[in-house]
Structure 1
Amino acid sequence: MTYVRACPFAEVPADGAVGVEIEGTPVAIVRSGDDLYALNDICSHAEVSLSEGEIYNGTIECWLHGSCFDLRTGKPTNPPATQPVATYKVKVEDGDVYVSLGSDD
């Protein structure tokens, strides 16, 4: 599995998100409590940036229509979104966040 540097860990706000682009893919790097997640930054319903939304209860909320996505699975937890967003492996090394866009398979 190949990891690519996404951003400095210090740039990811506590209980917030930052949007980055990795190899042409928009990715939201999200901190929720002590946990770090990476998921596709484009809402599956309205094609807007999820990293601009609120983080709460293990979800990220799309700011446009209010769909929430589970940070672990990418699955929507309420309408209007019905399709999940991709999730990615993420790790922190030497103060930087690294993301793998590859699958676990």
Structure 2
Amino acid sequence: MSDGFVKVCSLGDIPDEGALGVEIDDTPVAVVRSEGEVFAVNDICSHAEVNLSEGEVEEGTIECWLHGSCFDLRSGAAINPPATQPVATYGVKIEGDDVYVSLDQKTS
């Protein structure tokens, strides 16, 4: 697909208010559904280097399961400590039931 977008999953693979961990060119990505939208963020917490896709998703945020840092799914910003650095966010396209993510289309 053009613009660097790569098919990563189907919409049905992503739980409501949940995340799915995928890998694009050796980059771990959390594909997240929250409040009816789909987001893509780097799957590694900027504080503890664990998978964010294993954490809780709620109201447009994803929480790291290890120490409780939350990240905004739109901007990647760390909302609370111990994390202080954001995580990268990536472009998402939905075509039919297919979800595409582009590492080149960072949104923050």
Q: TM-score range by the shorter chain?
A: over 0.9
Range that drifts further, 94-103 or 25-34: 94-103
What are the equivalent positions in structure 2 for 1:1-105 lying under 5 Å apart?
1-103=3-105
Moved over 6 A (4+): none
What's the offset of the Cα at 1:66? 0.1
Structure 1 unaligned spans of 5+: none
Displacement of 1:94: 2.8
Higher strand share: 2
TM-score by length of structure 2 reads: 0.92
SS at match of 2:53: helix
Q: How many residues align?
A: 105
Q: Matched residue of 1:10: which SS?
A: helix
Give the TM-score normalised by structure 1: 0.95
For the structure 1 residues 76 and 11, does the alpha-carbon distance in structure 2 shift closer, same or farther, using more than 3 Å as the test? Answer: same
Gaps of 5+ in 2: none
Instruction: Output the CA distance in 2 between the equivalents of 1:40 and 1:104.
Output: 10
RMSD: 1.3
1:81 is aligned with what amino acid? Answer: A
C-alpha separation between the residues in 1 aligned to 2:99 and 2:25? 15
Percent of paired sites with the same residue? 64
The alpha-carbon deviation at position 2 of structure 1 amounts to: 1.6
